[in-house]
Amino acid sequence: MLKDMMLDKFQYTVLELLVRNKSIIDQLSKFQDSNARINRSIVKAVTHCGCIEINAKKQNYDENLDFDEIRSHMETHLKGELCDNCRDIIEKEIGRNLFYLASICNTLDLNLYDILIKEHERLKVLGKYTLR
């Protein structure tokens, strides 16, 4: 219950603080920009800091394996761990992204917590058949 109140409180705070970017067009462009900033921060953790590495290759797996076995064969392609500085930067960018997501929800009169609950229910019902 505390967690749902926290998400609602966050969404309400965004509603109260958003002044300059009230237009849905502004919110959409800011949301997309914040997505790009998350990506850039992760890339910088690799290329500038070096605390993590990306070691990507084609992910092969036997299609006859069951779901849990396939999942155990899939890799993130990441090696290492985020340093404290990169973690802080990425968390800040994800926070900004959540701000603009909440602003879009506010403009469209959607409740972020309700959306989260509905998506969680879909995931529970569909289970492994959601395969994203």
Q: What is the pLDDT of residue 127?
A: 75
Q: What is the pLDDT of residue 39?
A: 98
Structure tokens at 80: 């290492």
Cβ count within 10 A of residue 27: 22
Residue 119 lies in a domain: yes
Tell me the residue length of the chain: 132
Residue 70 lies in a domain: no
pLDDT per position as a tens digit, 77-116: 999 999 999 999 999 999 999 999 999 999 999 999 999 9
pTM attached to this predicted model: 0.85
Residue 72 lies in a domain: no
Q: How confident is the model at residue 31 (pLDDT cuts 50, 70, 90)?
A: very high
Residue 91 exposure: Cα atoms within 13 Å on the Cβ side: 7
Q: Which residues pair with 79 in a beta bridge?
A: 53
Cβ-based burial of 102 (10 A; exposed 0-12, middle 13-18, buried ≥19): buried
Residue 9 sits in a domain of what CATH number?
1.10.287
For the chain, what is the domain count? 1
- Say yes or no to pLDDT of 119 above 70: yes
Q: What is the pLDDT of residue 22?
A: 85
pLDDT per position as a tens digit, 51-84: 999 999 998 878 788 877 888 888 899 999 999 9
* Range of the structural domain that residue 31 is part of: 2-49+83-127
Residue 74 lies in a domain: no
Residue 67 lies in a domain: no
**CA atoms of 51 and 60, how far apart (whole Å):** 27
Q: How confident is the model at residue 130 (pLDDT cuts 50, 70, 90)?
A: low
Q: What is the pLDDT of residue 54?
A: 96
